[in-house]
Amino acid sequence: MKKRHLTGVLAFTAAASLALVGCSSNGDTGDTAEPTESDSMGTITLGFLPSWTDGLSTAYLLENQLEKLGYEVEMEELTEASVLYTGLAGGDIDMYPSAWSEVTHASYMEQYGDNIEDLGAYYDGAVLTLAVPEYMDDVNSIEDLKGQAARFNGEIIGIEPSAGLTKQTQEVAMPEYGLDSEYELVTSSTSAMLATLQDKIDSEEDVVVTLWRPFWANAAFPIKDLEDPMGAMGEPESLHFLGTLGFSEEFPEAAEYIANIKLDDDAYGALEGLVTGDEFEGDPAGAVEAWLADHADAYPGILTD
């Protein structure tokens, strides 16, 4: 980890903090000084589910940026949202870098919200969807699924059992459209859902899956969102950075920096595309560096070198 030059709205506060750290260690305040353990502004643990690629992408973006600010960053990969929220509320995890806390994960916030700090939203207009392949010309609305379960083997292909998308589909959308008596929501993992989707498309078979936006798969697969005239998949929401309670007091420079991150569709799409694409497969940190090279002005205060 090396300290870097700071730009934008964070330059003053972060530079002051780094200067104080430098004086307490060896008196060298230059940006090129070799870091020591005492130089660190603290360790921040980021918890995320790698299969949920919005969180995967923003986790590695934050790792890059927080290290440039002078923090140590630990990456904690989890497989269940329930474990993530429990760890966040209990302080085992300092941050969840992409929470659907307004609608999709509202139930977790009701349970754990008193011990969680909202650090700001980085993306607006996120939505949950049901989707089918584009070649299914006669299925364009969730209403069209009614009475056609045999075409889909009676299955809607979902993701992780603890996902908010799973709960919304199973407890709201399926009952409201009268699908719960015909269909089973099959849950396993995001990767398994995508594998099934790919197999069905390859053989041009009928399939309906649970999806969401933003998500790279919407551009990678020839699929279409089903219209939702009853609004049963929930209202659009923002994607938030959540911290354990007291995060901004323990890490004030990080909290100030994080609050300024706002990504539009183009910037977010490019980030997720690089992190999940073939060019940087297995190297999400390299993908973030490539994204920074092309999106140096994505939001105020971004640290590019």
* Segments making up each domain of the chain, as ranges: 43-124+237-295, 127-225
Give the residue-averaged pLDDT of 220-234. 95
CB of 281 closer than 8 Å to CB of 274: no
Q: Which CATH number fits domain 127-225: 3.40.630.30, 3.20.20.140, 2.60.40.1180, 3.40.190.100?
A: 3.40.190.100
- At 23 the pLDDT is 29
* Mutual angle of helices 265-276 and 53-69, in 10-degree steps: 100
At 129-140, the pLDDT tens digits run 999 999 999 999
Q: How far apart are CA 81 and CA 78, in angstroms?
A: 8
Residue 305's pLDDT band (cuts 50, 70, 90): confident
- At 38 the pLDDT is 54
Give the residue-averaged pLDDT of 198-206. 98
**Per CATH, domain 43-124+237-295 is 3.40.190.10:** yes
Q: Which residues pair with 72 in a beta bridge?
A: 43
Residue 123 has pLDDT above 70, yes or no: yes
Q: Which residue has the tokens 């279409």?
A: 224
Q: How far apart are CA 71 and CA 64, in angstroms?
A: 10
On the question of a common fold for 43-124+237-295 and 127-225, the answer reads yes
**pTM greater than 0.85:** no
Of residues 218 and 156, which shows the higher confidence score?
156
